Structures are given as structure tokens and as C-alpha cells.
Structure 1
Amino acid sequence: MKKTLGLLFCLIGMLIPVNASHAQNNPRNLYDIKPGDTLWEIARTYRTTVDELKRINGLQTDLLQVGQRLRVPIMYEVVSGDTLWELAQSFTSSVPAIKASNGLSSDVIRVGQHLRIPPRKLSMDGKFVLMTRDEFKDWIFNQKFNRVVRKIQQHHTFQPSYKEFNGSNHFAMLQGMEEFHVSGMKWSMISQQLTTFPDGKVAVGRPFDMPPEGSFGLLNPAAMHKIEADAIAIENVGDFDAGHNQMTAEQRETIVTVAALLMLKYGLAPSVDSITYHHWWDINSGERVLDNGAGHAIKTCPGTGFFGGNSTVDAKNNFYPLVRQKMNAIL
């Protein structure tokens, strides 16, 4: 555990971009939350707005926690060799955003020029935050969560499947799932914390510090709440039973990457205890049956074709090794 945490601290440090040419002029665009901080005060300090800070950082609430990190706009003095593209890469921004923020009509910048560099805004709709894999990596390590998490649950949506995804309706699909969960299942909001899509995007829905709702043990509320208390639920859009949707390479990479990042965030190692499939649980009693599902009410979820299948053997042979490799690659 100590080795894992040490590597994690190194990783978090590496997430702060540093370029050799900026060694004497490298302002930090990460702000560490201190006791008493508010979004309004931070926004005033960095000459921005609360709404902009929330969209830059994918914040679902105005509440801040000590130890949390926020991306903030910075002022930067141009040095020899700088380009807008390099500055955008170094400070999680974009060339168009830098140009718009500074009223630039061309990409030409000069030594000594002072530029305001705003970090990229994330795509948000209400509490839903839609991200690329790289954006999610930055997001997850800058957040501070209080709930203890010991396992992540892998699900497939079954319905909606690939045919309902048109490449741009991420938020509409999330809202549709939430409507079903609230109106149909009588849950408080969308059940899952994370949703992956065929194009490789990943969305945050239910806040991480709230346990998932209704993911296992539907007819046994006591067992369900016990199972979900220390879980993160992931819904992977698609029907991954063999012979149905063929998982895209982009979604496959996102599922592996998200699992690896969650393992690192919570100090876990891939196993049947830390990465669990819906198929391994009796949906009535909440009993974990693993591969002994005969005579039990079980679902095929996350699919009979999910990374080779939905048994523990399939997970150990085809999914966990990929997650371990990704964890090593990230570190």
C-alpha cells in the first residue's frame, strides 16, 4: 500500500505540466483548497466567475473540500521559444481560448507579452460532466472524496444500446436514464457515478460521495444498501452479450482506463473483490454467487461478450491484466 500511495503522489505531481523552456517562468494553474475557501473568493482572486470555475473543473456543487484542487486562469509572461500551442498544452488550455481571452487576431506572440491563459472548460449539463479520457484523469486526481470505496461495479446498459447513440446525444441519453431511474424505479437520481460511451467519452452523473442506488439486490433493500455502500457503479452504454454490440476500440480503451484510474485513486488492486460484475450477484437476495449462478436470479450484465465473457475466469484472464497494464502505464 505504501508503495502504491507513493507512486500515486508522484503521478499527481506529474499532472502539473512543466516545460524546460518555462523553468524561470512557470506559474502554477492549480489552486489547493484551504479551510474557509469559497468559489466566490477564488473566482474574484483569479478574475473569473464561479460558473467558469465550475465548468473548468467539472464541479457538481459549490461546496469545496480541503485537499481538493482547482484549475484556475493564470497570467503568463511570454519567453523566447514560446508558442500558443505549447502554452495551451502546458496549461490545459487551447489556442482559441487563449486568443479569445487576450483579443489576439493571430498566433504570433512576442517576448515579454503578458497573456491570460484560461484552462479548458469541460462539457457540462446540470450535474452531468462529459469528458475525454485525459480530462477524466485530470478530474479524478484533482477531486477530494470522503466516502470509502472498495469496489467498482461493471454494468452494461443493454438498453439503450449502440443503435440509440448518434455520436452527440450523450446528455440526452444520460437524462433518459435518469428519468427511468427516478420515475420508473423511484430512485433519487441517476443510479451510476460513471457512464462510458461508444466514442470513448466518459460522463460523471451521480456524485462520487453518494453510493449508487439500485444496482444490486433490487428486492432486498438491506442487502442492496450494504453492497453499494462502498461501491462506484459504472454503466457502459451498449449490449455486450455475445452476438449483439461489438464494443468499439475507443470504448474498450476508456473502460480499461477508467478502471485503472479508479484503482489508483482509491489504492486498490484489480481482483474479484475490487472490480465486480453484475452477473456475480443474485439480484433478489443480494448474495454474491460469482460463477455459481445456477438456481439463482442473475443477469448476464456486463455481457457474455464483455472482455471475453462475464465469468470470474474471463475477468481474471481478459480484463484485470489490461487494467494492471494501464495502471503501470499511467504511473
Structure 2
Amino acid sequence: MKKQYMLLFSLVLLLLMNGYPAHAANNLRNLYDVKSGDYLGKIAKTYGTSVIDLKLINGLQSDKIMVGQKLRVPIMYTVAPGDTLWELSQVFNSTVQSIKTANKLATNNIFTGQRLRIPPKRLSMQGQYVLMTREEFKDWLFNHIFTRKIGKIQQHHTYSPSYQQFNGSNHFSLLKAMEEHHVKGMGWSNISQQLTTFPDGKVAVGRPFDTPPEGSFGLQNKAAMHRIEADALAIENLGNFDKGKNQMTAEQKETIVMITSLLSLKYGLTPSINSITYHHWWDINSGERVLDKGEGHAVKSCPGTDFFGGNSTTSAKNNFYPLVSKKMKEIRASMR
């Protein structure tokens, strides 16, 4: 019995030294927890990479990092029995091709005991903008740490640009055009919104999360605008979702529901008219919240008279919030 115990102990120790097989679902060894005194240059040197690569891998909009923040980093991995490049790419947030390139592999064949460098995949970035899939955004959101308290999520549609201006690959040029209009045309400091969703289901981070949106509500009353936006995150959904205009794609609809759910989980919000708010519910001159009593007030149709069935509080309660609540439950279950 003692001999068997020692054999088992030795096997466990060997696994700990060489790494668990990639198919171990809780293997998160390529996530680094930022500690006091860390900076990107130091972390990059430790893991044999560059600051630029760390920023692209993690979608960092600046060199600033926070204690407790999680950063994906390249790792060295010892191949275990049954491992494949595809499994390794899935577990370590990489791609088969990037692993092959990093290790100068001519084929997909790997062998037990082989040492591989596994670089996490880079996100698509241009300047401050980070373009992601829904799953990439989930990873990005929960790995980041933000300091600003968020109490409400604002839903908007761009109206213009609409679907007619989107060609499937011009995400960044549309974002830059919106930024230029907001800065040069409106006099704001940056693009107004933190997030933009697209017809293909992609989502882009723009204005940093810790900077309140600018000019989204109460345009003529700056004091009211700043008060409303202090604890808000703004989502611009690219398209004109008034009735008879753009028919929202299934991909964009899923993205809007998912990112709203992820944000609600991140910031501890329960879907309601107080936490997930439509632009239409606010007087754009005074900043007063009028909800469905917009007659006689300066209100926009935004996020659209056909946004998830309409832009009224009843439509939100019946058509949008239930989808968000359901998705929140699904995400919670998947993260256990």
C-alpha cells in the first residue's frame, strides 16, 4: 500500500512539474494576475514577449494595468498524451497556425514530451479601438479591472451610418468617422460610446470604460448630461432600427443581448428601466427622464421604433429584458 501511495504521489508530482494535459478544462496557466509593482515591460520580459504583443493579445488601450487584472501571456507547454494542436489552441486561447509558426512546425503532428511555445492570439486593434467576437469580448471584459462605478447601460442606434454604409470589413473606418464627427463636429473629447455593435455580430471597444460617455443624453444641458452619464456605459448599435428601415441581423441581435448581459453581470445590474435605458426615454434638451411620456418633449426615436419590438418601456420589459435575464443565467451556468 505504501509503495502504491508513493507511486501515485510521484505521478501527481510529475504532472505538476510538466503541466496538466490541455484538455483539463480549468487549466488557466497562461493567465497572469497583475501584482503590485508590475508594469507591461517587466511582464513582457518575464514571458519573452513585447509590450506591443501584450497589448494586442489583451486588447489594452494604454500601458496602464491594474493590480488583480488578468493578462494572457505566452507559455511553454510540455505535450501530454492525447494532446493535439487544436486542443491546445482552444485551451490556451491561441490558434493552430500561431502555435505552428511560433515553433516552426511544418505539420500538425506533435509528440508526448515535446516542448511548445504557445502564444495567445492577438485581437484586432487600430489605435484605441478593439474589435472582437462575442466570446473574445467576454474574455476581455472579465479579465479587465475598471474603477468607475456603473449603474446604467445606455442603448442607442447610430441611425447614420446605417447598414447601407457597412460592407463587412470597414468596422474601423466607420468608428474613425464617428470619432471625427464627435470630436470635430460636436466638440467632444473622444468618440462618445464605449461600445459599438455591428451587423456581423462583432463588437468594438472605443471610449475607455473608465471615462464617462459624452453627449449621449441632455445635449443642451451640460450639467444634466454629466450627471446622467457619470455612471453610464453607452452602446451604439450600428444601424437605423426605426420601423421600415434596417432589419436587425440575427448576429447583431445576439451580440446586443450578450454584451448587455455580460455588462450586467460585471457590474451587478438587474435588467430594469433604471439599469438598461433607452435614449428615447430622455429629453435631449433638459436631460429629464420622461420614459413613455415624451409628447411635448424633445425626444429621439433612438434606439429605434423597431428595436426589439419598439422603443417604449413596455417593449423593453416584454421583449428585451427577458432575453438579457435569460442570457445572464446561461452565462452564470457556463462560468461555474
TM-score interval (norm. to shorter): over 0.9
Alignment partner, residue 203 of structure 2: 202
CA distance in 2, matches of 1:272, 1:105: 56
Alignment partner, residue 157 of structure 1: 158
TM-score using structure 2 length = 0.92
Alignment partner, residue 146 of structure 1: 147
Alignment partner, residue 319 of structure 2: 318
Superposed CA offset, 1:145-189 (max 9, x none): 000000000000000000000000000000000000000000001
Shift of 1:24: 12
Query: Structure 2 vs 1, CA of residues 19 and 281 (structure 1 numbering), >3 Å: closer, same or farther?
Result: farther
Shift of 1:69: 0.6
Secondary structure at 2:183 match in 1? helix
Is residue 253 of structure 1 aligned with residue 250 of structure 2?
A: no
Superposed CA offset, 1:273-306 (max 9, x none): 0000000000000000000001000000000000
More displaced 10-residue stretch of structure 1: 25-34 or 145-154:
25-34
Shift of 1:314: 0.1
Superposed CA offset, 1:6-51 (max 9, x none): xxxxxxxxxxxx9876559956000001111000000000000000
Shift of 1:67: 1.4
Alignment of 1:1-331 (within 5 A): 26=27, 28-331=29-332
Larger radius of gyration: 2
Q: Tell whether the 8 Å contact from 1:19 to 1:90 is kept in structure 2 after alignment.
A: no
Query: Structure 2 vs 1, CA of residues 100 and 234 (structure 1 numbering), >3 Å: closer, same or farther?
Result: same
Superposed CA offset, 1:79-116 (max 9, x none): 11000000000000000000000000000001000000
CA distance in 2, matches of 1:140, 1:63: 16
Shift of 1:207: 0.1
2:261 alignment partner AA: A
CA distance in 2, matches of 1:247, 1:22: 38
TM-score using structure 1 length = 0.93
Q: Tell whether the 8 Å contact from 1:201 to 1:251 is kept in structure 2 after alignment.
A: yes
Query: Structure 2 vs 1, CA of residues 315 and 111 (structure 1 numbering), >3 Å: closer, same or farther?
Result: same
2:90 alignment partner AA: Q
Superposed CA offset, 1:234-288 (max 9, x none): 0000000011000000000000000000000001110000000000000000000
Q: Tell whether the 8 Å contact from 2:20 to 2:80 is kept in structure 1 after alignment.
A: no
Any unmatched runs of 5+ in structure 1? Answer: 1-17
Query: Structure 2 vs 1, CA of residues 199 and 256 (structure 1 numbering), >3 Å: closer, same or farther?
Result: same
CA distance in 2, matches of 1:224, 1:21: 50
Superposed CA offset, 1:171-228 (max 9, x none): 0000000000000000001000000000000000000000000000000000000000
1:50 alignment partner AA: V
CA distance in 2, matches of 1:130, 1:58: 9
2:66 alignment partner AA: Q
Q: Tell whether the 8 Å contact from 1:193 to 1:207 is kept in structure 2 after alignment.
A: yes
Secondary structure at 1:134 match in 2? helix
1:229 alignment partner AA: A
CA distance in 2, matches of 1:118, 1:269: 37
User: Alpha carbon RMSD of aligned pairs, Å?
Assistant: 1.5
Q: Tell whether the 8 Å contact from 2:23 to 2:87 is kept in structure 1 after alignment.
A: no
